[in-house]
Amino acid sequence: MLKVYLKELLELTRDKKTLIFTILLPTLIMPVIMLGFITLSTKIAKKAVDEDLSYAIVGGEYYPELVEQLVKNDKLKQETVKDIEKAKTMINANDLRFAIVIPEDAQARLRAGLNIEIKMLYNDSATTSAIIFRRVNDAIKDLKEQEVNRRYAQLGLSEAQGKAINNPIELIKTSTADKRESFGEKIGGFLPYILILIGLSGAMYPAIDIGVGEKERGTLETLLLTPVPRFQLVLAKFLVIFTTSFVSVFFSLISFGLMIGFLGPMMLSGIGSQGSSAVNEIMKALATISSFDVFLMFLMLVPVAAIFASVLLSVSIYARTFKEAQNYMSPLMMLVIFPLILPLLPGVKLDWVWASVPITNVSLAIKEIFKGTIDMGMLAVIFVSTTVIAGLLLGLCNWWFQREQVLFRN
C-alpha cells in the first residue's frame, strides 16, 4: 500500500497542473490576488474621496452663506450654470457631478426658525454617488452647526442645552467583548469559508487524475492485477487525495498569515491615519491567536479533508471520462458552498443544533476558535462526529471500488 501511495504521489508531483492547483494557487496566487484586490479597492475609494467635484448652484443669491461655504472647499469646483434643466443634462453627461438648488424662500424660512429644503441633483446610478452625497453633506456641516448655535442663542440656551433638547436620551454603546472576539465575529466566518474551499479545490484535480485518469490511461487494469488488496488500493488513493487537500490548506494558511503580517501593513499604510489605526487594531487582535489555536483549526480541517477525499474519489471512480468527472464536480462544489454560507448569516451561532450539520459545524467551530470563545467539549463532539462521517464515506468508497460495474462502466 505504501508503494502505491508513493507511486501516486510521485505521479502527481510530476504533473504541472497538480503543482499549480495544490501548491502555487493556494500558496501564492490566491493570497496575492486577494491582497491586491483589497489594496486596489482601497486606492479607488481613496481616489473617489479626494476627487475634485465640479458642481453648479441654482438660486445661490437666495442663500449666499451656503455658496461661500462650498467655495471654501478646495475639492469642489463651481461651474456657472443657472438653469435647472441644463444642470440635469450636464450631470447625466458627466460634465457636472452635482448641482445645488436653493429655494427662493430660504432666508425667510431661516428667519422664521424653520428648515429649508435644499435639493441636490446628482446621478444616483454612478457608483460613487453615495460618496458624493456624503462629501457635500460634510462640506456644509459647519454651516448647519452655525445656524443651530444661532437658534440656541436666540432661545437663551447654551450649546449643550440645545443638543440636549434634540437628543434628551443618548444611548452609548459599550461592548463587553475584547478586540479579538469582536474582530472574529465580524470576519471570522470568512476564514473557514476560504480554507475549506481551498481544501476542496486542492483535492479535486488529484482525485480526478488518480481515479478516472487511470481509466483513460489504461493503467487501472494493471494496478488491479497487482497482489495488493483492493482496500489497500483505495486507502492509498484516498491518502494521496487527503494529502494534497491538507497540504493546500496548510500552505494557504501560512501564506495568508505572512501576507497579512508583513505585506499587508506595508501595502495599506498609505490609506491614511484611519486606515493605519484599523490595521493596527487588526494586528493586535491577530497577535492574541496562539499556536494552540492554529493547531485546533488544522485539527478540525483533518476530517473535512478526509470527507472530500472519500467523496471525490468515489465520484472519480464512477465517471467514465475526465470530462464527465469535471461535470460532477460543479454540483458538488455547490453542495459545499451552501453549508459554508450559513455561518456568515447573522444570528447563526455554534450550538448543539448547528453542531449536527456537517461542514457548517466545522466552519462555526473554526470561527469560535478564531474568536477565542470555543467550547472544548463541543469541539470534541464535532471532531468525533465529523471523523465518523469521514470513516463511513471511506467505507462507502471502498464498497464502491469493489464493484466491477462501477470500475468498468465503459
Mean pLDDT (whole number) for 177-189:
75
Angle made by CA atoms 334, 340, 342, in degrees to the nearest 5: 115
Cell of 378: 463541543
Strand 119-122 relative to strand 98-101, pairing: antiparallel
- Edge to edge, the sheet with strand 76-79 lists 76-79, 53-58, 98-101, 119-122
Can you name the residues that pair with 77 across neighbouring β-strands? 54
- pLDDT cut 70: percent of the chain above it: 83
The DSSP secondary structure of 175-211, one letter per residue, reads: --S-HHHHHHHHHTTHHHHHHHHHHHHHHHHHHHHHT
pLDDT at 396 over 60: yes
Question: End-to-end CA distance of the chain, in Å?
Answer: 27
pLDDT at 107 over 70: yes
State residue 306's pLDDT score: 92
For 187-224, what is each residue's pLDDT tens digit?
777 888 888 888 888 888 888 888 888 887 777 777 77
Among residues 330, 338, 339, the alpha carbon closest in space to that of 358 is found at: 339
For 132-144, what is each residue's pLDDT tens digit?
888 888 888 888 8
pLDDT at 281 over 70: no
Mean pLDDT (whole number) for 277-302:
75
Domain residue extents for the chain: 2-30+179-407, 53-139
State residue 276's pLDDT score: 53
pLDDT at 392 over 90: yes
Residue-averaged pLDDT of the chain: 80
pLDDT at 243 over 80: yes
DSSP structural state of residue 356: G
At the second CATH level, the architecture of 53-139 is 3-Layer(aba) Sandwich (3.40)
State residue 383's pLDDT score: 92
Instruction: Answer whether 133's CB lies under 8 Å from 120's CB.
Output: yes
Mean pLDDT (whole number) for 164-186:
78
Mean pLDDT (whole number) for 22-44:
69
Mean pLDDT (whole number) for 151-174:
81
Find the range with the poorest average confidence among 119-128, 177-186, 254-263.
254-263
State residue 166's pLDDT score: 74
Cell of 294: 492554529
